Structure 1
Amino acid sequence: MVRIANAVRPRLAKAVTAARPRVARLTRSLRPRPVHLPRPRTVRTWQYAAGAATAGLALAAGVVTAAGPWDANGQRTAERDRAAALERSGGTDHGGRGTPRPAPSAGPVLTGLGRVTGAVDTKKAAPGAKALTDVLGPLLGASALGGTHTAAVVDVATGKRLYGVDSGKALTPASTTKIATAVAALSALGPDHRLTTRAALEPDTGELVLVGGGDPTLTAHAQPDGWASLRTLATDTAAALRERDIHKVTLSYDTTLYTGPALHPIGVNDNLAPVSALTADEGRTDNSTAGPVRRVADPAKDASTKFAGFLKAAGITTTPPGPSKASTRAETLATVSSPPLSALVERMLTNSDNDIAENLARRTALASGEPGSYDGGAKAIAARLTKLGLPMTGASFHDGSGLDRDDRLTADLLTALLVTAGDPGRPGLRPVLTGLPVAGFTGTLTSRYTDGAAGLVRAKTGTLTGVNTLAGTLVDRDGRLLAFAFLASGTTDPMQAQSALDRTATALAACGCGQPG
């Protein structure tokens, strides 16, 4: 039984209350009962042995417990509380906001894996290729997955590929591209890097310039609670102006950090705002924090207009804002900064946030000496992954989000990215794993796996017309941590294809295909 510290009891009570309906369903579904496990060749995808599920969930809970510290928006905290209460992993969506914390380290997590593996008495070797072929082959061959599919399964502890089907063939990856973007951004900038928006006063003209820093989480909401607030920036700026006895200014905005087209090649789209170095609330026209919604046509002008309104409320009158560029002599009056990059990466992966992805691609470009554009970001991502020694044959990047249908990745590259993120020697990449949605609990997997491997699978989803992908990690029935990538092209029914991928991941988690060690 996981011990519950006094410090988490208030959050624990709240988490348990909120989760009670799902808890009841999970408790019923996982109640121990006598079972007879079939051979790997005949594993039925949706039927879990209670003993195997308990071992896997205990392992997952151990990973969550060992992973601390907990992130800004509460996912890791909620998972810890729920693991303590239910002896299983879970979490809450990344829509919430909280005080930023440092990125967790991979070292304690992998150490924790070893401890918990021993606790559940796992003495099996990694699954064999034939056993995995018997289990996964028929599922990946389902007609719902279209005419072309590729797959790879890798043992995270050793980095050895255990199973592959055309794993070196490059296909359209859709949003699993964000895994590559995350690894590249963390490698280029580090998990503690923050993106800063500032207000600067020109000494000669008295012009006030709002300088965009490429922070996709900048918000105009009244209570951001830890995220960079445009309202706070205006309040601090107004105070600095009043100290100088300035009560009226010419207001402008500077977006020159980025270059090139602001619109994605797909054009105007509810899934992504025009990419600008200055944007408030991702240019959303409602109060949403995730998912598709109509966006403003000019994010920088929209953010500056809101900033002017906040200044007015603080006693500073401004002209209508227009574009400009801050000089090197401009005096910074006030700044606000994003949460650390680790939190941005987790939010991007959990919610499949295209706006964060494209900003991180541009910031990766700038850190790599490339222009802050779509082309610069794509080039920088490829260069960073090449430098890490990853298998880049066939890979092609055109954006950071995966919305571009010309992107190409292989199953080998996706699994290598996940294994690299778990390398104890690269703790700064840990948010790539902790940000993956949890099956049945968080982000884009919240409503999936409700009768399958809930809590055992953590994976990034990908969906475009005719394309369905899934890549992530899971704990199999023998207690081994596996990385997997499944890519399908030519699908005709996205929901059927999605279900087919989920059944495949569930079967892998239920396999228990390892031989005695």
Structure 2
Amino acid sequence: MARHDRLVMLTTLAVLQALTIVIGVYAMATGFNLGALTSQPSPTRPTASPADGSSPVPVVTAGPVLAQLSVKSGDGPLPTKGTLTQQLTRALGDKALGDRVGAIVLDAATGTQIFASNADVGMTPASTTKIITCAAALASLGPDSHLSTRVVQGSKPGTAVLVGGGDTFLAGPSAKETYPKQASLATLANRTAATLKAQGLQKISLYYDTSLFVGNPIAPGWKQNYIPDGEVAPVYALAIDEGRQDPRYNQPRVANPPQYAAAAFARLLAKKGIAVGKTIRPTKAAAGAAELARVDSAPLYALVEHTLTRSDNDLAEALARHVAIKEGQPASFEGGNKAVIAVLRRLGVGEGISLADGSGLSIRNRISPHALAKVVAMAGSAKYPDLHAVATGLPIAGFSGTLGNGRRFTAADSKDQVGNVRAKTGTINNVNTLAGLATTKEGRLVTFAFMADRVPVIAEPVLDRLAAIVARS
């Protein structure tokens, strides 16, 4: 590897880490809300890390994105296998991990296996599942795609249909500005009102269409407390603020996200001088119905970064369904799982993956450490530019997302690697996982996955120690 390529890689990672620090300093100085970059799980108990022709048009695509991003492996020597093996083996024997642990370390450039233990065993991945879901979304839909929410002409004069496009990140009336910038229900109402007034209408009957997503809105393997506790909302193609009653808080989630979104839309129209009939009913928009207005989400690569940094369960499930639609499967949990695995197989990493949902909340998911590490390696490779958002979305140890919550990489055996590890966390009851990348002390880019799914209480500090061992090797 040329010295120039190594410098590009190191500079890219350094800039990303420095940018996170700068944002944090700015937030403390100005009071800016870093909600899109941080997660605050409960400190008292383990929690989930945080068509046919008539179908709506959910995704807008454009050309390639991130073409200039060059995340390449450094040309430093590989870590000494004997020393690394000894240190990792000792750490993997920690009783906090329980009696079922898998681990792997790969050279990002060549795929050379540096260390492995139960690396091909399918294990419960928790939220590291999102790495797989997001990689499939980027590969299938393209990083510059958008999710679209529309309003179309109803079947009768004086009617309109709010058509859910599967953008669960759609901002409701009381949402605050975030990164990435959310598509706005208020903007959609403004555009709709302007069109209706131009047609001479001041009163309409409003309907809403959620037909883009099908099947059970609750995944097999989800625990009964997930929705009441605010870990996730039932999955529908139409929702605002991911089904939150108040976008500032995870709970409570509303009982009927589509109806709640449609009622909020009606109130916004009324403020713009368009009266809406009292009854708002579900329907299916007619094929080819004239479009009155639309709003588009942030590009998919930004949604992926948010999903991984924040461990956003709702958006992960929506992305899995969009992969299903693109791959010709039903937009359900089952269809999304089949489609995601099919895309990963096209990329050459489909082995060792069995899914029941896209977020990792389901205890039925199984992913091998080898599969996780391979996908991370691809995301950090110049050969797969469409997948780079997976790498850039991984939380930075001690600074962002689920690794910047004040609980991770704080122990004496890991805090020296703050800023030098990027990884996705996974935490549900009795499951702790960590998968990501690090630059060794000699400048070699490596990827790793550490998974434990029979954890007695919690093993996050041990996983941090394992990643730190890799980074300082």
Q: How does the TM-score come out when normalised to structure 1?
A: 0.77
Deviations 1:99-132 (A, max 9, x none): xx9843475232xx65xx7xxxxxx520133221
2:208 aligns with 253
1:421 aligns with 379
1:46 aligns with none
Q: Return the letter of the residue paired with 1:172.
A: T
Q: 1:233 aligns with which of 188, 192, 199?
A: 188
Q: Could you tell me how far 1:216 is from its partner in structure 2?
A: 1.8
Q: 1:434 aligns with which of 392, 407, 417?
A: 392
1:392 aligns with 351
Quick one: structure 1 residues 356 and 231, their matched pair in 2 at CA, closer, same or farther if it must change by over 3 Å?
same
Q: Report the secondary structure of 1:214's partner residue.
A: coil
Deviations 1:161-189 (A, max 9, x none): 11100101111111100000011111110
Measured in 1, the distance between the counterparts of 2:35 and 2:384 equals: 24
Higher mean C-alpha displacement, 421-430 vs 341-350: 421-430
Q: 1:104 aligns with which of 57, 60, 66?
A: 66
1:356 aligns with 315
* Greater helix share, structure number: 1
Which portions of structure 1, spanning 4 or more consecutive aligned residues, are displaced by more than 6 angstroms?
A: 58-61, 82-85
Q: 1:342 aligns with which of 286, 301, 319?
A: 301
Q: Report the secondary structure of 1:276's partner residue.
A: coil
Quick one: structure 1 residues 272 and 164, their matched pair in 2 at CA, closer, same or farther if it must change by over 3 Å?
same
2:232 aligns with 272
* Greater length-normalized contact order (CA 8 Å, ≥ 6 residues apart): 2
2:88 aligns with 136
Q: Return the letter of the residue paired with 1:154.
A: L
Q: Return the letter of the residue paired with 1:371.
A: P
Q: Return the letter of the residue paired with 1:211.
A: V
Measured in 2, the distance between the counterparts of 1:294 and 1:182 equals: 26
Q: 1:208 aligns with which of 160, 172, 176?
A: 160
What stretches of structure 2 of length at least 5 have no aligned partner? Answer: 1-6, 27-32, 39-62
Measured in 2, the distance between the counterparts of 1:216 and 1:385 equals: 24
Q: Could you tell me how far 1:148 is from its partner in structure 2?
A: 0.8
Q: Could you tell me how far 1:425 is from its partner in structure 2?
A: 2.1
Q: Could you tell me how far 1:419 is from its partner in structure 2?
A: 1.1
**Percent identity over the alignment?**
41
Deviations 1:177-229 (A, max 9, x none): 00000111111100000000011112634311000000121011455473200
1:344-493 counterparts in 2 under 5 A? 344-390=303-349, 392-393=351-352, 395-446=353-404, 447=406, 448-450=408-410, 451-493=415-457
Higher-Rg structure is 1
Q: 1:162 aligns with which of 114, 126, 132?
A: 114
2:36 aligns with 95
Measured in 2, the distance between the counterparts of 1:390 and 1:399 equals: 18
Q: Report the secondary structure of 1:370's partner residue.
A: coil
Quick one: structure 1 residues 131 and 93, their matched pair in 2 at CA, closer, same or farther if it must change by over 3 Å?
farther
Q: Could you tell me how far 1:141 is from its partner in structure 2?
A: 1.0
Measured in 1, the distance between the counterparts of 2:244 and 2:401 equals: 19
Give aligned pairs, total.
423
Q: Report the secondary structure of 1:172's partner residue.
A: coil
**1:154–1:163 contact (8 Å) kept in structure 2:** yes
1:147 aligns with 99
Over the aligned positions, Cα root-mean-square deviation in angstroms equals: 2.6
Measured in 2, the distance between the counterparts of 1:325 and 1:490 equals: 45
Q: Report the secondary structure of 2:450's partner residue.
A: strand
Deviations 1:442-471 (A, max 9, x none): 010012113341101110000111111000
Deviations 1:420-440 (A, max 9, x none): 112212211000000000000
What stretches of structure 1 of length at least 5 have no aligned partner? Answer: 1-57, 68-75, 86-91, 118-123, 512-517
Q: Could you tell me how far 1:510 is from its partner in structure 2?
A: 1.6
Deviations 1:391-424 (A, max 9, x none): 514x211110011111000011001101111221
**2:101–2:451 contact (8 Å) kept in structure 1:** yes
2:12 aligns with 63
**1:106–1:430 contact (8 Å) kept in structure 2:** no
